[in-house]
Amino acid sequence: MRVLIVDDEVNIRELMKRFLGLEGINADAAENGFSAQRMIQEQAYDACLVDLKMPGMDGLELIQWIRSEGFRMPVIMASAHGEITDAVKALKDGAQDYVVKPFDPEELIIRIKSLVEAQNLRNIKENENRQESERAFVGESIQIRKINELIGRIATTNSTVLITGDSGTGKEVVARNIHARSGAMGPFVPINIGGVPENLLESELFGYEKGAFTGAVSRKQGMFELASGGTLFLDEVGEMPLALQVKILRVLQERCITRLGGTSTIPINARIICATNRNLEDDVREGRFREDLFYRLNVVRIQIPPLRERKEDIPVLAHFILQKLNVSMGRHFTGFTPKAMEMLKNHSFYGNVRELENILERAAIFADGDLITENELDLRGSSLRQPEKNNQSVGTPLTLAEAEKIAIEKALRRWEGNRTRASEELGISRRTLITKIQEYNIEI
């Protein structure tokens, strides 16, 4: 942290520098507004302490200049007079706080620290929002262009959206994109229906009152409430137990909820976005998913085609992912050799964009130059790519749980992380598979 002290009195400058120094905070001092301006332009400060009465340029003028130049650090105004009008004017012109001299340096430092902390939090939040809206849904194919157009059209409405597509096609990216482009003030609240144990789903979604059941020691808001003014994202909605489907249907119809163990109804205004990689129409036909709920959810449908049906997206996606890897890995890749790109374009990507990401991340680790070459691209199934570290020799003792974990890992690798296919192969339900992935801490 670095703080600038602007005061014409040398005593104050020295005193504050010493106290800030004791706290391990770097402090610079300026004896008038003009040198303060110069210093602020040359060096980033986390906060400024500005004296009101100074010869030449006074504190108020300096604050006005700081804000008009777009600097955003907190400014604290100090004055010997304690004039309320000065304080009001300073705060109006962009100071965050006001102290009257003589002040207690230690108390002032606490105030500076908390102002800097608050500003840092604001910066982080703004950064996140920016990233969120920049998280574009990348693609040049006609299918993706249509999806982007549709997102633009529905973002500002409150319509319920159902996003379907295979694993790794980008359903969550689309959901976040709709939220980011909606301009909604509320949060994006995701819940993975398949990943929450069945007995907890209802209380997660609806919340509960104190004493609603053993263990309900205090009131808890559910996700419907938390998403107020924003978006509730019901991921893997096809995994919802039938009993809960009835309750969700009622929420969508009546637009209000009751917390478990509660009596009052709470209005719900969150926008609902659902996603699934199952064929919900089949589930409806076979009685696993309520038809009435299906129609409620399926107001706007976004169907993301698998990557192999839109191969023109592979180059743009590959470049987009490479840029992200450059940032996260601190590298400077500029692109791919023609041979490498050709290989990518011909690959079938059963794991869709997620598989492309994994392949490129691995390639980036091994590539030395500016380009990803065919030598680093390993497009054989990941089961061949990774050494069979779980291949235990005959006679090695193996618990049932270990054997189960190995079988799951193998199936997931064979299907490039596609949980639907892996669960079919293993002969268990997707829900069971997801629970076990969490239980065994399996990385996909």
Ligand X SMILES: Nc1ncnc2c1ncn2[C@@H]1O[C@H](COP(=O)(O)OP(=O)(O)OP(=O)(O)O)[C@@H](O)[C@H]1O
Applying CB under 6 A, the residues found at the interface with ligand X are: 137-139, 165, 167-173, 277, 320, 353-354, 357
353 binds, among Mg ion, ligand X, none (CB under 5 to 8 A by kind): ligand X
Please tell me whether residue 404 binds Mg ion under the rule CB under 5 A: no
Contact assessment for residue 419 and residue 357, using Cβ atoms and an 8 Å cutoff: no
Total residues interacting with Mg ion, rule: CB under 5 A: 1
Closest CB to ligand X among residues 261, 306 = 306
Radius of gyration of the chain (CA): 29
Name the residue with the smallest CB distance to Mg ion. Answer: 172
Question: What is the distance between the alpha carbons of residues 396 and 393, in angstroms, rounded to a whole number?
Answer: 6
Residue 226's CB is within 10 A of a number of other CB atoms, namely 18
> Considering only residues 119-178, where is the footprint of Mg ion by CB under 5 A?
172
Q: 125 or 324: whose CB is closer to ligand X?
A: 324
Query: For residues 64-93, b (16+ Cβ closer than 10 Å) or e, as one string?
Result: ebbeeeeeebbbbbbbeeeeeebbebbeeb
Least Å from the CB of residue 363 to Mg ion: 24
Find the shortest distance in angstroms from Cβ 173 to Mg ion: 9
Nearest distance in Å: CB 235, Mg ion: 5
With CB cut-offs between 5 and 8 Å by kind, which of ligand X, Mg ion, none does residue 416 bind?
Answer: none
80 binds, options Mg ion, ligand X, none, Cβ within 5 to 8 A by partner type: none
Residue 147's H or E segment, with its range, is: helix 142-154
Nearer to ligand X, 219 or 278 (CB): 278
Going by the DSSP 8-state scheme, the letter that residue 305 receives in this structure is P
Query: Please, which residue, 172 or 378, has the CB nearer to Mg ion?
Result: 172
Min CB(171)–Mg ion separation in Å: 5
Partner whose binding site includes residue 170, from ligand X, Mg ion, none (CB under 5 to 8 Å by kind): ligand X
Helix axes 84-92, 59-68, angle to 10 degrees: 10
DSSP letter at 442 equals -
What are the DSSP calls for 249-263, one per residue? Answer: HHHHHH-EE--BT--
What is the nearest approach in angstroms of ligand X to the Cβ of residue 154? 17
Nearest to 370 by CA among 322, 407, 402, 413: 322
* Nearest-angstrom CA–CA distance, 11 and 102: 12
DSSP 8-state assignment for residue 380 = S
Choose the contact partner of 79 out of ligand X, Mg ion, none; CB within 5 to 8 A by kind: none
CB of 325 to ligand X, least distance (A): 12
Shortest distance, CB of residue 44 to Mg ion, whole angstroms? 39
Which CB atom, from 66 or from 273, has the smaller least distance to ligand X? 273
Considering beta carbons, is residue 172 or 425 the nearer one to Mg ion? Answer: 172
| Choice between 94 and 170, CB closer to ligand X | 170
Cβ atoms 204, 221 nearer than 8 A: no
Paired tokens of 106: 């230690």
CB of 131 to Mg ion, least distance (A): 18
Nearer to ligand X, 12 or 318 (CB): 318
Instruction: Please provide the distance, in angstroms rounded to a whole number, between the alpha carbons at the two ends of the chain.
Output: 40
Helices (H), 298-351: 313-329, 338-346
Report helix, strand or coil for 351.
Answer: coil
276's contact among Mg ion, ligand X, none, with CB below 5 to 8 A by partner kind, is: none
169's contact among ligand X, Mg ion, none, with CB below 5 to 8 A by partner kind, is: ligand X
Which partner in Mg ion, ligand X, none is near 59 (CB below 5 to 8 A by kind)? none
Residue, CB closest to ligand X: 170
CB of 253 to ligand X, least distance (A): 27
Q: In whole angstroms, give the CA distance from residue 440 to residue 358.
A: 21
Nearest to 290 by CA among 223, 233, 243: 243
Distances (CA, A) of 95 to 7, 31, 92, 251: 16, 19, 7, 46
Binds 168: which of ligand X, Mg ion, none (CB < 5-8 Å by kind): ligand X
Given the rule CB under 5 A, which residues bind Mg ion? 172
